[in-house]
Each structure stands twice: as C-alpha cells, then as structure tokens.
Amino acid sequence: RFEKGRIYTFIGEVVVSMNPYKNLNIYGRDMIEQYKGRELYERPPHLFAIADAAYKAMKRRSKDTCIVISGESGAGKTEASKYIMQYIAAITNPGQRAEVERVKNILLKSNCVLEAFGNAKTNRNDNSSRFGKYMDINFDFKGDPIGGHINNYLLEKSRVIVQQPGERSFHSFYQLLQGGSDQMLRSLHLQKDASAYSYICPGAQIKCSINDGAEFKAVADAMKVIGFKQEEIQTVYKIVATILHLGNLKFSVDGDTPVIENGKVVSIIADLLSTKSDMVEKALLFRTVATGRDVIDKQHTEQEATYGRDAFAKAIYERLFCWIVTHINDVIEVKNYDTTIHGKNTVIGVLDIYGFEIFDNNSFEQFCINYCNEKLQQLFIQLVLKQEQEEYQREGIPWKHIDYFNNQVIVDLVEQQHKGIIAILDDACMNVGKVTDEMFLEALNNKLGKHAHFSSRKLCATDKTLEFDRDFRIKHYAGDVIYSVTGFIDKNKDTLFQDFKRLMYNSSNPVLKMMWPEGKLSITEVTKRPLTAATLFKNSMIALVDNLASKEPYYVRCIKPNDKKSPQLFDEERCRHQVEYLGLLENVRVRRAGFAYRQTYEKFLHRYKMISEFTWPNHDLPSDKDAVKKLIECHGFQHDVAYGKTKIFIRTPRTLFTLEELHAKMLVRIVLFLQKVWRGTLARLRYKRTKAALTILKYYRRYKVKAYIHEVARRFHNVRLMKDYGKHVQWPTPPKVLRRFEEALQTIYHRWRAGELIRSVPPEVLPQLRAKVAAMEVLKGHRADIGLQRVWEGNYIALKPDNPQTTGSFIPVANELKRKDKYMNVLFSCHVRKVNRFNRVEDRAIFITDRHLYKMDPMKQYKVMRTIPLYNLIGLSVSNGKDQLVVFHTKDSKDLIVCLFSKEPSNDSRIGELVGVLASHFKRSKRALQVSVTNPVQCSLHGRKCTVSVETKINQSQPDFTKHRSGFILCVPGN
C-alpha cells in the first residue's frame, strides 16, 4: 500500500496514516466532493472519511466529537490536522454567511501563525510541533462553524536558549532575519546573518526544507487576517529581536561587582522593550530581595546573571506565544450565542500534540512529552480496547477476552500522588536549602527502586548505558527512554526573578504591559508559592484527557515508514515496532471480533422506528427490546446483530448504513406527509379568506373604475373648444387596475391633439416642420444650436441675399441638372469650404436634391465637380460645438469634408437644417441614415482613416482647415 501511494488504512473508526515524505495529489476539491456526506466505508480509507464521520456524528446525533491525532515526532500529525481543518472548512457554510467565512478563515490562518512561533526543525522533522495544541471548533444547529478555542500545552521554551546538535530554534527567529525588510531589521538593530546571534547561531548553517523568507510574509498576512493590529505585530517582532540581543549580552566581574561588557546592547534592548536602560541593566545584574520591611539589592554572580538572562529570554518568548494564542481565541470566541434561539451548540475537537520522542539527550521537556503520549495511549486503551471488551461482558454478549498491554502502570509511575516521579520532583523543589538534580535522582532511586518500569545505574550497576548520578530509564509503552536529570529541578521550578516581571510591567508599550500583569505587585507583597511546571502540565493533561473522554472519539494513528525522511524506504522493523506499541494489532482483533455500533434500545427506536409498520408511530409490544427485535427481523438483519441487556449491537457498518438509508428515505416521506396535511389546512383557510376578499374587491374595483371614467369625462368636457385642446387639464390618478388603460387613453388623446394641431398648419410649412422634428430627434442633447427658431429656406444659393452676384449663373445649372437627373425637389444648397486628401482647401458649393448630392465650383459658373447619389450616402458626422463642420460618409469610403458658411447673416447656423432635411428625406424613403455628433470627427479619405478636430482661435476671421498629423484641424473664429 505504501509503495502504491495508499497511505491510509482503516481499523474501525481509527485511520492509520503513513507519512509519505512527498506531496500526494489526494487533497483537492474533487477528492473532498468524493467523501462529502458519504458513509465511512463507502470510499477508500482517507483522512477526509474520518473527518466526515466525526462531522456527521456531531450533526446527526448532536454529539460532541473529537479527532485525536497521535504518533511519533515526524509521523505527519500536524499535516493531518491541517487537512482535517481544510476538509471541515470546505464542506460547511454552503450559504456563504460572512461571519462563518470569517471564523473559518481565522481557524485556517491560525495554523500558519502558531507554527511560526511554536514549531522548529529537529533531527526527526523539519517542522516539528514544540507545543501541544487542542482546538475546539463550535458549530451551530445547521452544522456551520461559528467559533472556536485553542488550548496550548508546554511550549518547549528551553529551545530559545539552547538546541541539540543538528537542530534549530523556533522558526520565527530565522523568518524575521530572512524575511524582514532592510528597514525593519534596521529599526530592530538586527542583521540578516543568523550566526551573529549566540542563541540561534548553531542552527544558522543547518539546511531546512522551510523557506523562511516566504513564510515570514505568509505569517504577516495571516496575522492581519486574524485581526492583529500593526502596532501589535511590530511588538511581536520587537520581542523576538529582544531575545536575539539578550543572547549576545556578555557578563564579567570587576572585583566583586558584576558588569555587562557590551553596554550598547542594553540600550538596544531598552529601546525595543520601551523602558529605560538603567532599569534593564539593574534587572540583569541585581536581584531585589525583601527581608521583612527592608528591601535590599543583591548582586548577581556572573553565573547567576547568565541564568537570570536565559530565564528572562525563555519567559518572554513563552508569554509572547501564550499572548498570541489568547489573541486568536478572543477573535474566534463564540459571542452572543443563545441555545434557546440558535439551537444546540456542538463541538468537534482536533488534538495535534507532540509525538513520542527519544533523543540522544532527553531532558525535562521529553519527560513531559512522553508522559503526555502515555496519557493519550491510556485513553486509547480505555476507550477502544478496555471499555469495549468490558461492555460486551456487562451486556452479556458472548466474548473471548483479547489480551493487550495496559500502560496505566507507567502513567501511575509518573503522576501518582505522593509516589510518582512528578510528586518526588515537586518535593525536591520545595525542600529548604540547596537542592541538586543528583539529590532528586537519589530520591527516585529510594522510592521507585522496586518499580518494574524504572531503573538507574545505582539500581542496575552493570548497565553501562546509564551514567552514575545523572541518568534514569523509564520503560515507556513505545520503548525505553534514558533521561538526564540535569536541569530537572531548575526547569520544574521555572524560576524568574520578580525584577524582570516588574521591568516588563513598567514598559510604556501597552501590549508588553498586558503580558506581565503580576509585575504590578510590590516587592514586599507576599505571594502564594506558584505550582511547578510539571504539576501544571500534569493538571492540564488530566483535564485534556477528561475533556476527550466526554466526547465521541475518532483516531488518526500516524506512522513513520523510516527515519531518513525517504519517500521510497519502508523500514519493516521500524513500522512493526510502532504498530506494536500503538496497540493496533489488538485494535484489529477487537474490531474483528466485536461490533461496529451499539445503542440503547430506547435511542435506537427513537431514530429508526419509522422504518417499520410495527413500531411507527408507537409500538404495542411488551418492551423496547421486543420492538427493536421486530424491527430488525422485519428488514432481515437478525444475523448481523446481538441483543444485550440494555443495548443492541450491530456487527458490520453496512447494516448501519442500510438502516440510515431507510431512515433518510422514510424521513422524507414523513416530512412530506406532515407538510401535505398542514398545507391542506392552510390552503382551505386561505381559500375561504381569498374568496371573501375577491368578492369585496370585485365590487370595490367596479366602483373605482366607474368613478375614474366619470372624472375623466368631466375634466375633458368641451375639450374641442379649449384653446390648447386640453393640454393644461390634469389627468386624475387611476386605480391600479386601469394604469395600462390610462396609458392607452392618453396615447389616443395625444394623437388626437397632435392631429388637430397639424390640421391647423398650412400645407406648404409641413415639410419644414417634419425636417425640424427630424433634426430635434437626432441632435437634441448633443448640440446646442440647431436653428429651430428661424425659417429654413433650404436652397440658399438661389436666394439673392446669400448670393447676390452669381445667383443668375446657378439657376440655369440647377434647371439643367433637373432635366438631366430628373429630381423632384431641392433639399438644401449652400456655399462651403472643403478640404481633400491632398490637403487642398477650396471654396465650393453643395447642392442636395432628393436624388443626388452635387459638389460645385462657384468660380466656374457652378460647374459640377462631383456627384454622389443619395443611395451611396450612409451617414453624417457633425461636431458638438457651434461650428459648421459636416462630414458626408459614403459607401466607397470617399468621405466629403466641408464647413458651411453663410454670407447673410454671416453667423447663421445651418447644420441643424442640413441634418433635419436629410434625416426627414431618408425617413420618408424608409432608409437608414447614421448621424453621429463627436469631436474630433472620424472619417475616411479613399480608405485612409483620419480625424477632423475643431479648435477656436481668437484672431481667426473665417473658418479654415489646416493639416495635422492625425488628419485636419478646423480653426473657427473665437468671437
């Protein structure tokens, strides 16, 4: 299966996931659609199947569910949790509600931010989670995510100051140095070279598959989406920079006085923390101690100063991480949710927590991490192996017991009150006087010497793998781990001098101040001894396990195929060991012998009673158990079930899926039946009300119609005798039903009134009136001066005022053209100035009849220079100014460009008349004439495209054309 890329396997509701160490194309949108709404075994094993099963259980049965992801470090737990989140986000909120989309986006983006500040490269994994994460996603009754909450567990803060060989510190440090802009790094007093900073120097040269520069940008974008303000993001990176500078502080002793060699770094730290340099220096070199009423400043030794500095660096990074988690929780918290209004609020929990770890040097962190894994394995054993077998025996189901290793003994070894390792460690930390790690190991040897799962060199003198006074071994469920006690006492006490807390609380940066609330306590105030780190972690683990146990669990068990991160290598021995300690073989045996589903008779009947006539709507059999038997036999499932004392057990999932299908089908029929009955009742009530309303409406409408018609008749009485034929008469408001009738009536009235007005117009004026109407239709709103107020003469060349000298020579030419071309009417004539394709500007005349447009030369007795048949004319273009520019567009692209001018009066505008008479003529001939009003005017001279634009010049006496690179410019007088 691994070689073929089939990395998932099912054992009941447990998915076994192999880390493929390569990208597989099995998480796209099409794959999501294949698993959406399907039952668990309908499709091949996949993470999406278990996510969908948990979602369906939550939605169908209103049960809180959780998905527990476990496995070794580097087995793929974090990636699995991301794919589960991605699937839940993809299948929810079909209605695209904005608030739900916001919550989904923040839940997905939070992963990116938490990984930057909580993950690091280890020898086993380039993106190892160095903290535990449990995320609750809250859903409303429709199954849409409406909020959530993240719990974080035991950040490995010691990684800030020291890392094992071959490992890096948290990603955030390298991302800031590689991805931060030069300006940002200058403001933080940083340089790009990570090897310049002693805290992260060892990891500077180590190759990592994570692109720090690109991730920095992704994290910054994600923080903005989540809702971090710009000043908060700046504070985050100021804290990261502060830690890098803290690591470079060098302490020495001048006589008895401790001093800081590189004092400049102190002022940089003070600047970043928004506090004073002298206060920072005092906190690093002195410790304020209260003895009764007296307060004294106790000098540090060089060793104490270094310890205090390191503790401070670890503490501010941990506070920063917890603050980021709290900030995300504030944004995604479910607000104003009222179960009485919105229905039940259900939860899916996703647990992605550090895996079992065995390093060359295992310290306090590995001890806590491995204890956490013991607790989770114990939960798995309790729920999957122990409780299941006990339930069969309790219910009287025939059962052969399957043996398994119960790791409760190891959990007790660590957490038992007064006897466990954590209790012994706490006792050692509370002892008065100097307590060493070796004394703690001695206490372990004395109290746990006879425990089968604990050993040390003192107890087993011949075992040379263990060092005297340093090492102890615990036989974990996943293998033996040797722990070094060095640092256990310090890490458990987690001591941070109060001076640092007060320093941070007194910062002028409000974000920093908020992170350190306990800094406001005065020096002399007595505080309760805080719980140790191990006890806090133990309490949080017990609470987590109790929380998970209250939900319906689904498991993802992650397995590493090899330790070399190779996509080809399958280390059989390594995999067998993981399968063995994860209890997967026992899980398979229990599943094979056991039952996939169990439910109390009452709840089973409540869900499935509608699929049998014997149980729907209520049964009359002696007990619920008899009713369930009848229902099962009715569908022929009796060979696949067992009947317990209070529960029914179904062996195979297929039977359950069939029951679900029958339930879904019947549910539709029941809903339809209820809808039918209720709709029938509503319809009958509606019919009676409607019938009564219609009767009232009928009589009322009749009255309104009559009233309206009477009112119209009254207002328009004697309309023929009115001077304006009733134009001033206001129409009454019609009832709604007569609105279209009123429109038709008004149309008839307007046509009648127009006819009356036209009948009063003399016949010889009608053509001019039609032309003016045509000009208005085309030019109104596009051109101001149409010339509607004056009389349109048409044939201006034949008029003496316009053409006193040459009128006598034009009329014979016009008569000759009438005889030759047989035109009926003269439409328009006028003197013009024209320009041609050779850029020659000449005075000409245009003569337009009902058949042709003639261009004439007035200087040669109006000789015809060019004839354009009107059927060859396709359009006119004029400008939107007061000029007289006209372009006649022809089919053969030989456009005629002219500017009209009149001699008497000289400023007479004839454009409106020319456009009107041509548009009117073309309309009567039922031909189309395209008129466009633009500036500049587009035209075509023998196929060459050009433009004619109009410009006003003050000193210009008369219109004239000039050449321009894109065509021509018509210069017109400015006055």
Long-range contacts of 717-725 (CB under 8 A, 24+ apart): 720/756, 725/753, 725/756, 725/757
Report the side by side order of strands in the sheet with 479-484.
Answer: 454-456, 471-476, 479-484
Phi/psi region, residue 149 (left: phi>0; alpha: psi -120 to 50; beta: rest), is beta
CA angle 944, 947, 952 (to 5 degrees): 150
Catalytically active residues, by annotation: 73-74, 78, 125, 128-129, 355, 357
Residue type at 421 in one-letter notation: I
pLDDT at 449: 87
More confident residue, 916 or 498: 916
Residue 784 structure tokens: 């101001």
Q: Which residues pair with 633 in a beta bridge?
A: none
- State the chain's maximal CA–CA distance in angstroms: 142
Is the backbone peptide bond immediately before 617 cis, with ω within 30 degrees of 0? Answer: yes
pLDDT at residue number 905: 63
Q: Which amino acid type is present at position 868?
A: I
Tokens of 917: 């008479």
Residue 904 confidence (pLDDT) = 66
For CA atoms 651, 656, 658, 663, give the dihedral sign.
Answer: positive
Confidence of residue 63 (pLDDT cuts 50, 70, 90): confident
Question: Measured in whole angstroms, how far is the alpha carbon of residue 112 from the centre of its chain?
Answer: 14
Q: What pLDDT was estimated at residue 292?
A: 64
Query: Mean pLDDT over all residues of the chain?
Result: 86
Band (268; pLDDT cuts 50, 70, 90): very high
Strand 65-71 and strand 552-559: the pairing is parallel
Q: Please give the pLDDT value at position 523.
A: 65
CA quadruple 961, 962, 963, 966: dihedral sign:
negative
Q: Confidence class of residue 184 from pLDDT cuts 50, 70 and 90? A: very high
Please state the separation of Cα 548 from the chain's center in Å.
Answer: 29
Per residue, the 3-state secondary structure of 509-572, as one string, reads CHHHHHHCHHHHCCCCCCCCCCCCHHHHHHHHHHHHHHHHHCCEEEEEEEECCCCCCCCCCCCH
Pairwise CA distance, residues 482 & 466, whole Å: 7
Q: Token pair of 22, please?
A: 């390569």
Gap between the Cα atoms of 249 and 198, Å rounded = 9
What pLDDT, in 10s, does the model give residues 820-842?
988 998 999 999 999 887 888 88
By residue count, the chain amounts to 975
From 883, 793, 875, 878, select the one nearest 830 (Cα to Cα).
793
DSSP 197-247: STTTGGGTT---SS-HHHHHHHHHHHHHHHT--HHHHHHHHHHHHHHHHHH
Paired strand residues for 259: 252
Task: Indicate the range of 348-357, 378-387, 699-708 predicted with least confidence.
Answer: 378-387
pLDDT, average across residues 60-84:
85
Please list the alpha-helical segments (H only) found in 646-803.
653-715, 739-759, 766-779
CA atoms within 13 A on the CB side of 582: 27
What tens digit of pLDDT does each residue of 395-434 get? 888 777 767 777 889 999 999 998 899 999 988 888 877 7
